[in-house]
Structures are given as structure tokens and as C-alpha cells.
């Protein structure tokens, strides 16, 4: 029999945030290969067309990055709350993106949004079921 040690909840959450972040990054990277995307980036005719929009996108993408470390370093109560809140928000965001990405060139995006939704839902589930200490 192979040993299957119990993995600390903080490690599980950090691993799930890492997986979600890789999917986000690959989705954005693969999007560069869709028709017209590079030309729109060069011409400036894209969705990230203002400093405020870029700032908002940066804040949104910083959350999963920071939650990787936060899941390890934060105290359990705050850790649990932030994982539930941000996990829920990112699940809703990715389901919405998946629903509205209907163009055939964005099937990869739908797949990644579906996968990201599962991962962030697992974050919420694990955080919700955070083990209690026996006193």
C-alpha cells in the first residue's frame, strides 16, 4: 500500500489557487493566437484601452496570486473567509465568461473557464469545510 498522508488545508488551498492561476494565465496567453488579437493590441483597439481598465485587470489577476501565499500565511479565520469570498467571486466570474464566450475561436476559453470554475468551487468547498480543532 502507498502512503496517503493527510494534506494540511492551507496547502490544499494554495495548490488550488496555483492551478486556477495557471489556467487564467494560459487562457490569456492562448487568446493572443485568436484572429485579430495581436493587431488589436498593436493598434490599441482592445478592451484594456485605459489606465483604469488596466489597473482593474491587474487587481483582479493579483488576487489569485496573493491568495496562493495568503492561503499558507494567514490565520485560519481570515484565511477561510477570504477563500470563501474570493473563491465565490471567481467562480461566478468564470461561469459568466464561459457563458458569453460563444465564438468558435474561444472554445479553449470556455473549457478553461469551466475548469477554473470547478477549481474555485473546490476552493470554496474546502474553505467552508475547514477542519475544526478539538478542545
**Tens digit of pLDDT for each residue in 12-56?**
999 999 999 999 999 989 988 888 888 887 777 777 777 888 899
CB 74 within 8 A of CB 82: yes
134, part of any domain: no
The proportion of the chain whose per-residue pLDDT surpasses 70, expressed as a percent, equals 98
Q: How many domains are contained in the chain?
A: 1
Give the contacts of 98 (CB within 8 A, at least 6 positions apart).
Answer: 109, 110, 113, 114, 117
53, part of any domain: yes
50, part of any domain: yes
Task: Supply the range of the domain harboring residue 105.
Answer: 9-128
For 102, the grid coordinates are: 460563444
Indicate the pTM of the whole model: 0.89
Segments in 32-106 forming alpha helices (H)? 37-43, 51-73, 76-100
118, part of any domain: yes
Res 100: pLDDT: 78
Q: Determine the average pLDDT of the residues in 73-98.
A: 96
2, part of any domain: no
Q: How many CB atoms lie within 10 A of CB 74?
A: 17
Amino acid at each position: 500500500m502507498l502512503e496517503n498522508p493527510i494534506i494540511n488545508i492551507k496547502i490544499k488551498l494554495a495548490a488550488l489557487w496555483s492551478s486556477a492561476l495557471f489556467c487564467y494565465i494560459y487562457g490569456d496567453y492562448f487568446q493572443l493566437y485568436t484572429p485579430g488579437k495581436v493587431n488589436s493590441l498593436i493598434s490599441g483597439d482592445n478592451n484594456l484601452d485605459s489606465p483604469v481598465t488596466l489597473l482593474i485587470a491587474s487587481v483582479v489577476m493579483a488576487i489569485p496570486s496573493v491568495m496562493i501565499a495568503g492561503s499558507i500565511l494567514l490565520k485560519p479565520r481570515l484565511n477561510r473567509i477570504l477563500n470563501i469570498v474570493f473563491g465565490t467571486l471567481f467562480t461566478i466570474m468564470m461561469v459568466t465568461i464561459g457563458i458569453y464566450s460563444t465564438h468558435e475561436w474561444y472554445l479553449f476559453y470556455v473549457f478553461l473557464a469551466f475548469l477554473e470554475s470547478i477549481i474555485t468551487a473546490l476552493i470554496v468547498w474546502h474553505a467552508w469545510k475547514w477542519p475544526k480543532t478539538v478542545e
